[in-house]
Structures are given as C-alpha cells and as structure tokens.
Chain A
Amino acid sequence: MKNISLKRDLACTLLFTVLSIAVLGIIYPLCINAVSGLLFDSQARGSFTADEGGRPVGSTLLAQRFTDPAYFHPRPSAAGGNGYDAASSGGSNLGPTSEKLRRRAADEVARLRKENPHAPPYIPAELVTTSASGLDPHLTIPGALWQVPRIARARHISEERVTATVEANREGRTWGVLGEPRVNVLLLNLALDRQFGKAGQRAIMGDKRR
C-alpha cells in the first residue's frame, strides 16, 4: 500500500472536479446554447408557431388541450393534474391489469361516443390511452380520420374536405422505415382555420354548446 496517497488523490480530485465542472458543466452547454442560437434559433427556443394573426399559439412539438368540436383533439394526457401540463410531463404508469386504467378508458369511450355520434363504431385505441409524455403532439392517421365526421359537421363542410386536409398534413416514416405515419394536431387545426375560417368564432355563432 506504499504508493497509495490520500493527499495526492485528493489534490487530483479537487483539481479535476473544478476543471471538469468548468468545461463540461458550464462552458460546454453555454457554447452549445450560443451556436444553436445562431444556427437553429427557432428549434432551440421550442419550435413555436403562430396563428394567422401572428400570435404565438404553442409549440408544434407539444400537445395542447382542444375541446372545440371543430378542432381535432389530441390523445388524453396524464401530464400534470389536469393534463397537457407542459411543465409537468409524464404518463399514467397504469399497468395491464389495472382496474383504474380499464375504468378510465371506459369513461373515455363514453365521452368520445357522445361527442362523435357519427364516427365509426370501433375507436382507435390511441384516443383513449395516455401517451408517455402526456404531451404527444400527434395522432395516427386512423386516429385523425375517426374524428372527421364531428369536425365536418361542426364546420358545416363535407367530410371529404376535412379528410383532404388530414392527408395534406400527413407525415410519413423517416427513410421509409423509422417511426409511424402521423399528423400533428396543432398544425392540422391551424390548417383547418386557414382553409375554413377560425373555429372559435364559428362556434360562438352556430354552436349552442359553447
């Protein structure tokens, strides 16, 4: 044990700690900050998007709550107490034998049935299951198409036109294999507003539920 020296190792430890915190903990992330601000400013800030009036309405990467029947609705969310809390991400963590999960899903089915009386009988399961982050911004194509009858009626337009908007916003698999085909709910709803007028105003005039 003659070569073991606590003093020497403590000195190295202290110096290594100071140096590595400075380089890896402060300089490195701040440099990445600076460079990404120059090269990819919008992404580095959170990929925010704006409505036609230029008002920022959210991040295209994060789900937000939609309840208006004239909009596509995202998947249910377990983020935060009320869902869609972008400062409290997370999933339900309910397991495959969970009675709580079964009851929650049954409630969701009942609600979706009531809101979508004209939709096909089998509901895509993603619409009653919460995502891992609680902020999943996407729907699968079947998950979006299932909602088309409601939206077409709320906007007094044909289902074909809404379907066409879904198809136009479809994102495919990367390199033909990675991920799943999907649509971004916020971008899709902004596209609906652009093409068929803003949902809120129409709803105020025509829809008594609001």
Chain B
Amino acid sequence: MSIYGWAQIILYFLIILALTRPVGNYLYRVFEGEKKPLPRVLGAAERLAYRMVMVNEDREQTWKEYAFSLFVFSFFCVLVVYGLQRLQYFLPFNPQDFKGVPPQLAFNTAVSFVTNTNWQAYPGESTMSYLVQMAALAWQNFVSAGAGIAVAFALARGLTRKASQARGATIGNFWVDLTRSIIYVLLPLSIVGALFLVSQGVVQNIHPYREITTLEGVRQTIAMGPVASQEIIKELGTNGGGFFNANSSHPFENPTPLTNFIEMVLIFLIPAGLTYAYGRMAGNKRQGWVIFWAMAVLFMAGAAVSYYAESRPNPALAGLPLDQAAGNMEGKEVRFGVAGSTLFAAITTAASCGAVNSMHDSYTPLSGLVPLVNIMLGEVVFGGVGAGLYGMLIYAILAVFIAGLMVGRTPEYLGKKIEARQMQYVTAYILIFPFIVLITAAWSAVAPYGVSSITNGGPHGLSQILYAAGSAGGNNGSAFAGLNANTPWWNIVLAIAMLAGRFLMILPVLAIAGSMVSKKDIPPGPGTFPTEGFLFVVLLTGAVIIVGALTFFPALSLGPVVEHFIAHAGRSL
C-alpha cells in the first residue's frame, strides 16, 4: 500500500461526488424538464427520430404497455445480434475472414449484450468481425444502457409523481425514454470520449491485423479494430464487453493511467447522477443524496478492503526469493499497479459494468471476495446505468417496510403508502436474484459438465462457478476468467440466467411503478419514518448487507473464505 494508492481512491471518490450534481441536473432536464438542452441540434434530432420510428412523444404508457414495448424490443434485438454473428462471414468489415460464430456461443453472446451483461465466452480479437463489434455489440451497448436508464426513470416517476400530476396510471413512454437517453446522454458523451481515448493511444481503425517484425526479428501479429468508439460506451453504459479478450487491461483499450481513471469515472458517472436526478424528481434533493451516500459507504468499504488485501504478497509465491513489495502482480498491469487495478475491480462490480483491467481470478482470496460480494449485493452500489438506481429504490422500499414494522405503522415512502401488493413485488425482486444465482451455481458445482470447466483446484474452483453464476444473474459480465465458459452447458445456462436476471427483475420494478403512481398522497405524520437523513442511510445499507449476507454467506464461506485460510496455511492445490 502507498499514500499514492489511497490518494487515487480518494481523488476518484471526490470527483464522482463533484460530478453527481451537474450530471443529475442534466439528466433531470433531459427526462423530466420542460426545456431540454441544445434544442436546435439535439431537439431536432430527437423529433426526427420520433417521426422515423412512428412514436407519439406525448403518449404515455401504463406499466404493462411500457414493459411490453421493452420486452418486444429486447427479444427482437437478441435475434438481430444472433443473426449478425452467424452471418458475419458473408458481411462486410471482416478483414480477418472470421467464420460465423457457432450457434450456442452466438446465442449466449446475443443475450449477454442485450441484457447489458456483456459476459464474454469468446476472445474478441479471434472471433468477432469488425461489423459484429460495431453494429451488433457496440450498438447494444448503447440501446441496452438506454433501456436501463428508461426503466429507472419509469420507477422514479411511479414513486415520485403526485396523484394530482399523474396522467392516469402511466409512467412514461419507453420509446421516448430510450431515444432521449441515447440522443442527449450516451451518444454526445461517447463522441467526445472516444476522441479523447484515441488521443491517448486507443486504436480506432478498420484495417486488417498488422504483421510486424520486432526489434529482435520475430514476427508479431497485432490485432486492430474500431476500439475507441466501443470502449467509451462500454464504460459509460456500464456494459463492460471488451473489444479484446483482455478487456480494459489491453493497452489498446486502456493505454495509460489517465485513460484508466477516466474509464473508471465514466462507469459511475450516470449511476451517480441518477441519484441526484431522482432527488429532484422527489422534490427533495436529500431523498437523492440519501441513496447516494448509502451507495458510497458500501463502495468505499469494498475499495478499501480490496486495495489492502491485494497489496499483500501472493500466497502462491510464498517462499520464493521474490520482492513482493508491489503487492500481488499476477494478472495485473504495471501502469495501473495494485491501486489502479483493485479500484477498477471494485467499481466495475459495484456498477454492473464488468469491464476489467486486471484478472480477478488471480486476486488474493479476500480481495477476490470484494467483487463477488459487490455482485451478490445485487449491484445496487451505484450499479448499472438505471439498474443500480431501480435496485436501490427497491431496497429503499424494503427498508421503509422494515422501519414500519418496528414502529407498528403502515409504511409509506415519499408520501405514498406501501401495501401488501408492493411488498409482494419487492419480495419477488429480491428473491429472484439469489434463486437464479444459487441454483445455477449449485447445479454447475455438482454436474460433471459444469465442473469440467473450472481451471483452479479446491475452493477457488467453486469461486469460479459462483462468480460466473453471480455475474450472469446480476448482469455484470466480469468473470473469474479462467473458467472455460464456451461449452454447451455454460453457454445455455448462463444465457438463461442473464435473461432472468434482467427481465424477470425489471417486471416487478415496473409493476411497483405502475401500482404506486396513482396512489393518493398522504401528508407526513408523526409516525412517518423520515427517508432523508443519516438514520435512513444506516437502515438502507443495513438492509442491503443483511439480505445479501444472509443469502450468500454460506456459499462464499466455502469459496474465498476457505481459500483464504488454505492460502495462509501455505497450501497450494
């Protein structure tokens, strides 16, 4: 550990803190404000888009219509992404002449990108043509992120609209929300950001792979591609799917400590801003800051533990004549060091991004535990664009409910009663995730076709399985990447886990929005639990930790925790 490492972590947090308000204000203006930014340019583009896709901007949808539009669009996207991969050999922008992607892998990948997971069972530079990377995968990076933001705003409307302003039981229009998130937020930021990344050394071309002769006269083939344009939206949309197999550790994706820092900022930019936008929608900014600080506390705890644990020597190298002062460098890049790597790992798993700049599989047991725990808390620590906010709001309702039980009054949130119906939806949301993860992991851990993919012995093998199941169910996409995931079992089961983890969880979210939006407002009384102070931050983080810990602690104790003790007993497997 060094003072520089801690300074980097603190600097990062301060920058996110400083950006939360302006980004939140901007998001609020785009989605809820009367005057949208840059009406001449972006406003014109927006109206043109509505005309071309035949959407009536003023027509709002009920939660069922909203969900239906989202599902129809998403499942159609799966077909398109699948088709483009299968047919890539016959399509342009394929200078390496890659053959069509095999059916199961193409299905897994299509689901993975449509669900904003970006789980990758393939190495990008030897599988996907430039066309697939640009027009299928990067395309989904935009629209799946936009869909996530849309759902967050739909839920926020459901919770915050006063009965007097509610237009019937509608919660917005999916097509409008999706279009706005792309035109006002994702695309403009991506254009600026991509050019910045290129200036730092991220490649951006559609040339064939380049053959060179090295200084010592050896041949080296160097993969190329339109990387910067994809790299930027991969972070901004918390997608995480790398152009190259090594993801953001590849110097062509992430060449300098500065790009590393900017990429980390981009991952949290929208999720953090959404908390503030939510506060404005609630008519009380403190409602947003409470959500922000609950996320911040959980995030900083993870980042600190991970940096501390990873700065220790790698136990597998104990006893060799090595100077391990720099910490565990297996699976890490020199330019980032342990601090820049563990911070990235904490961020990418807290947000459901899944980009990696170091190989989590090679982390020491306790710092490998941090990404796992972040994922298993449901990725509500800032979380994916949109997904983090709606996940945390579900926990907020749960926390209010628990507080209501303690004081013996009907719980209410933002002046709306929480009743049995809403609690059923909340319970469904909270139970679906562990159900997916634990069933997938348990089945894979006992079936020969599941176990045969693990590449590390002992408890670490179980960690690989748990991580894969959690990453898919939580729509994260990072991995203990040693796991050989390109097998029929893993491709299919993880695709199912990703679909369930996305759409089965969006369903109760939208249902809550729809059932809350037209509820009568009740003025706060003496029994109302205040949801805007320090006490609620404690209650909310407590709810997240208790639910996550009770659900996953037994499984985690058999993986990373046991491994920690084995490693420190000096055993290797």
Which residues of A does B touch, CB under 8 Å? 1, 3-4, 6, 9-17, 19-21, 23-26, 28-33, 35-37, 39-40, 43-48, 51, 55-59, 61-62, 64-68, 71, 75, 79, 84-99, 101-102, 105-106, 109, 121-126, 128-140, 142-143, 173-174, 176-180, 182, 186, 189-190, 193, 200
**Chain B residues closer than 8 Å to A16, beta-carbon distance:** 53, 73, 175, 178
Q: Which of A62, A67, A173 has the most CB of B within 10 A?
A: A62
**Chain B residues closer than 8 Å to A45, beta-carbon distance:** 203, 205, 207, 224
Q: Does B47 contact A (CB under 8 A)?
A: no
Contact A46 B142 (CB under 8 A): no
A sample of 11 cross-chain residue pairs with beta-carbon separation below 8 angstroms, ordered by A number, consists of A15-B54, A39-B195, A40-B199, A59-B222, A64-B215, A91-B246, A95-B368, A125-B328, A131-B329, A135-B251, A179-B335
Contact B123 A131 (CB under 8 A): no
Q: In whole angstroms, what is the CA distance A105 to B572 when docked? A: 13
Q: Which of B62, B138, B139, B195 contacts A3 (CB 8 A)?
A: B62
Q: In whole angstroms, what is the CA distance A43 to B459 when docked? A: 43
Contact B226 A15 (CB under 8 A): no
Contact B336 A179 (CB under 8 A): yes
Q: Does B476 contact A (CB under 8 A)?
A: no
**Chain B residues closer than 8 Å to A85, beta-carbon distance:** 220-221
Contact A19-B53, Cβ < 8 Å, known A44-B198, A138-B335: yes
Contact A10 B359 (CB under 8 A): no
- Nearest CB in chain A: distance from B342 CB, A: 12
Q: Which of A64, A87, A134 has the most CB of B within 10 A?
A: A87
**Chain A residues closer than 8 Å to B229, beta-carbon distance:** 28-29, 32-33
Contact A66 B315 (CB under 8 A): no
Q: In whole angstroms, what is the CA distance A11 to B210 when docked? A: 43
Contact A129 B182 (CB under 8 A): no
- When C-beta atoms are compared, the residue in chain A nearest to B76 turns out to be A13
**Chain B residues closer than 8 Å to A180, beta-carbon distance:** 257, 326, 334-337, 339-340
- Nearest CB in chain B: distance from A17 CB, A: 6
Q: In whole angstroms, what is the CA distance A130 to B76 when docked? A: 41
Contact B337 A179 (CB under 8 A): yes
Contact A132 B212 (CB under 8 A): no
Q: Does B209 contact A (CB under 8 A)?
A: yes
Q: Does B206 contact A (CB under 8 A)?
A: yes
- When C-beta atoms are compared, the residue in chain A nearest to B332 turns out to be A132
Contact A132 B64 (CB under 8 A): no
**Chain B residues closer than 8 Å to A105, beta-carbon distance:** 316-317, 320, 322
Q: How many A-B residue pairs have CB under 8 A?
A: 407
**Chain B residues closer than 8 Å to A43, beta-carbon distance:** 198-203
- Nearest CB in chain B: distance from A191 CB, A: 12
Q: In whole angstroms, what is the CA distance A97 to B315 when docked? A: 7
Contact A134 B246 (CB under 8 A): yes
Contact A9 B73 (CB under 8 A): yes
- Nearest CB in chain B: distance from A53 CB, A: 11
Q: Which of A6, A39, A94, A138 contacts B72 (CB 8 A)?
A: A6
Within 8 A of A (CB), among B435-453: none
Known: A89-B223, A96-B567, A140-B334. 9 other contacts (CB 8 A): A21-B80, A36-B204, A43-B198, A43-B199, A58-B212, A124-B326, A131-B249, A178-B261, A190-B215
Q: Does B361 contact A (CB under 8 A)?
A: yes
Contact A96 B328 (CB under 8 A): yes
Contact A178 B567 (CB under 8 A): no
**Contact string against A for B residues 412-437, beta-carbon threshold 8 Å, 1 for contact and 0 otherwise:** 00000000000000000000000000
Question: Which A-B residue pairs are the 7 nearest by beta carbons?
Answer: A179-B257, A25-B135, A93-B482, A132-B249, A89-B246, A180-B337, A133-B246
Contact B175 A12 (CB under 8 A): yes
Interface residues on B, range: 35 or more
Contact B64 A4 (CB under 8 A): yes
Contact B126 A126 (CB under 8 A): no
Within 8 A of A (CB), among B338-385: 339-341, 356-359, 361-365, 368
- Nearest CB in chain A: distance from B429 CB, A: 23
**Chain B residues closer than 8 Å to A15, beta-carbon distance:** 52-54
Contact B68 A101 (CB under 8 A): no
Contact A97-B320, Cβ < 8 Å, known A33-B226, A91-B359, A129-B314: no
Contact B333 A133 (CB under 8 A): yes
Contact A89-B333, Cβ < 8 Å, known A57-B214, A106-B320, A136-B251: no
Q: In whole angstroms, what is the CA distance A105 to B321 when docked? A: 10
Q: In whole angstroms, what is the CA distance A28 to B206 when docked? A: 13
**Chain A residues closer than 8 Å to B566, beta-carbon distance:** 97
Stretch of B186-194, B498-506, B513-521, B528-536 at the chain-chain interface? B186-194
Contact A19-B49, Cβ < 8 Å, known A29-B230, A46-B222, A125-B324: yes
Q: Does B331 contact A (CB under 8 A)?
A: yes
Contact B142 A109 (CB under 8 A): no
Q: Which of B143, B252, B336, B340 contacts A46 (CB 8 A)?
A: B252
Within 8 A of A (CB), among B255-269: 255-258, 260-261
Q: Which of B142, B323, B456 contacts A94 (CB 8 A)?
A: B456
Q: In whole angstroms, what is the CA distance A65 to B250 when docked? A: 17
**Chain B residues closer than 8 Å to A131, beta-carbon distance:** 249, 329, 331-334
Q: In whole angstroms, what is the CA distance A137 to B362 when docked? A: 20
- When C-beta atoms are compared, the residue in chain B nearest to A6 turns out to be B72
Contact A132 B199 (CB under 8 A): no
Q: Which of B135, B206, B214, B357 contacts A132 (CB 8 A)?
A: B357
Contact B216 A9 (CB under 8 A): no
Contact B317 A87 (CB under 8 A): no
Stretch of B3-11, B25-33, B391-399, B549-557 at the chain-chain interface? B3-11
Within 8 A of A (CB), among B207-252: 207, 209-210, 212-218, 220-224, 226, 228-230, 244-246, 249-252
Q: Which of A123, A132, A140 contacts B359 (CB 8 A)?
A: A132
Contact A102 B572 (CB under 8 A): yes
Q: Which of A32, A140, A186 contacts B228 (CB 8 A)?
A: A32
Q: Which of B76, B194, B215, B563 contacts A186 (CB 8 A)?
A: B215
